[in-house]
């Protein structure tokens, strides 16, 4: 089978590997669509484990099942990271801190023709796609789930002012979820195309990130890794406010300690999504509360994945780039 093996952002090679063989409790899934995530583009982060097959926003059709829970022919979304549901973190509701979640993955990755789904992923991370949710829309379940979890962590709610810094795909999803919760949303970006999209997807106000804002936000959601944005965030956060690192820079962030202390600010982070978040995201898409179809701006074949990475990395007129193996 064909696989796209990541060596670095500018070196993704199409290589042939044997089709995976499955064991008891496992599934073999033919990949139908797999999204390119912003974290896939974080070369300083990804290159540590290269070469490898990336792709964790994957949907497909079950070709072979050795599980009594699923049948061949079913359309599914499969989460790459799943918790054990037994450790102290899971039992406390902190599933994304689970060591099993951080180790687990499917074989080899969504940027391939077929994927072997291990038993634990079958049990805790495989979801049947409703008939009215396409394979491409299903690739948005995981990124939306990450947003659902992040906003739950910081308690986004009605009457708050939420500043979303960075209006790429994660920023737009955060805008949509925050508006559903009744918040006033302000969005920033450097690219006019993305600012227009932020307005289209519900932001009450949009600003070029180079402008100085007159705002005090209750919650700031960092959806960019640009260091100037993190420096600006401390100017825009209100007393008792919370800044969440949805995206991260490639170096440590300087914190104005006196303001942090006197104004009782909080800085938190959010990594990944738990099963409860995935289930909520699937429901939001299925019920039409968040329309993700229009956020998918580009589609590339597996053989053309290098171009897909280029489009996603340049971030000019793209939101979500999806790899479609067929």
- Give mean pLDDT, residues 151-163: 97
Q: 120 lies in a domain? A: yes
Same domain, 121 and 220: no
DSSP 212-239: PP---EEEEEE----HHHHHHHHHHEEE
Residue pair 200/192 in contact (Cβ under 8 Å)? The answer is no
User: For 194-249, what is each residue's pLDDT tens digit?
Assistant: 999 999 999 999 999 999 999 999 999 999 999 999 999 999 999 999 999 999 99
* CATH number for the domain harbouring residue 129: 3.90.180.10
Q: 278 lies in a domain? A: no
User: For 294-314, what is each residue's pLDDT tens digit?
Assistant: 999 999 999 999 999 999 999
Is the C-alpha dihedral spanning 32, 36, 39, 44 positive or negative?
positive
pLDDT reported for residue 44: 87
pLDDT reported for residue 250: 87
* Number of domains within the chain: 2
Q: Kindly report the pTM of this predicted structure.
A: 0.95
pLDDT reported for residue 315: 85
Same domain, 127 and 156: no
pLDDT reported for residue 116: 98
Phi, psi dihedrals of residue 200, rounded to the nearest 5°: -60, -35
Same domain, 133 and 151: no
Q: Which long-range contacts (CB under 8 A, 24 or more apart) does 187-190 make?
A: 187/163, 188/163, 188/164, 188/213, 188/229, 189/224
Same domain, 32 and 112: yes
* CATH number for the domain harbouring residue 229: 3.40.50.720
Same domain, 192 and 303: no
Q: How confident is the model at residue 291 (pLDDT cuts 50, 70, 90)?
A: very high
* Mean pLDDT over the full length of the chain: 96
No. of helices (H) and no. of strands (E), the chain: 12, 16
Same domain, 101 and 196: no
- Give mean pLDDT, residues 39-68: 94
Q: 274 lies in a domain? A: no
What domain range includes position 118? 2-140+292-323
Same domain, 303 and 179: no
User: For 85-122, what is each residue's pLDDT tens digit?
Assistant: 999 999 999 999 999 999 878 999 999 999 999 999 99
Same domain, 78 and 190: no
3 state DSSP class of 275: helix
């Amino acid at each position: 089978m064909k696989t796209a093996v990541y060596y670095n952002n500018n070196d993704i090679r199409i290589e042939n590997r044997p089709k995976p063989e499955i064991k008891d409790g496992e599934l073999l899934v033919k990949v139908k669509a797999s999204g390119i995530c912003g974290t896939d583009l974080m070369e300083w982060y990804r290159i540590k484990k290269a070469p490898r097959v990336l792709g964790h926003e994957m949907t497909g059709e079950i070709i072979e099942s050795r599980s009594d829970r699923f049948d061949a022919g079913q359309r599914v979304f499969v989460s790459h990271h799943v918790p054990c549901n037994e450790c102290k973190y899971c039992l406390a509701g902190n599933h994304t801190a689970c060591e099993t979640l951080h180790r687990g993955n499917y074989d080899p990755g969504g940027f391939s023709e077929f994927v072997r789904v291990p038993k634990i992923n079958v049990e805790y991370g495989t979801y049947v796609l409703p008939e009215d949710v396409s394979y491409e829309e299903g690739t948005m379940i995981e990124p939306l789930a990450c947003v659902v979890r992040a906003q739950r962590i910081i308690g986004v709610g009605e009457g708050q002012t939420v500043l979303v810094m960075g209006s790429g795909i994660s920023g737009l999803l955060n805008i949509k979820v925050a508006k559903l919760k009744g918040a006033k949303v302000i969005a920033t970006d450097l690219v006019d195309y993305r600012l227009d999209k932020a307005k289209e997807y519900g932001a009450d106000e949009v600003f070029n990130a180079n402008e100085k804002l007159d705002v005090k936000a209750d919650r700031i959601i960092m959806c960019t890794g640009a260091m100037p944005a993190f420096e600006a965030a401390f100017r825009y956060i209100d007393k008792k406010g919370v800044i969440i690192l949805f995206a991260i820079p490639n170096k440590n962030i300087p914190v104005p300690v006196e303001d942090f202390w006197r104004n009782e600010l909080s800085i938190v982070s959010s990594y990944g999504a738990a099963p409860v978040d995935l289930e909520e995201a699937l429901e939001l898409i299925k019920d039409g509360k968040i329309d993700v179809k229009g956020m998918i701006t580009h589609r590339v074949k597996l053989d053309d994945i290098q171009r897909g990475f280029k489009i996603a990395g340049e971030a000019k007129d793209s939101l979500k780039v999806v790899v479609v193996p067929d």
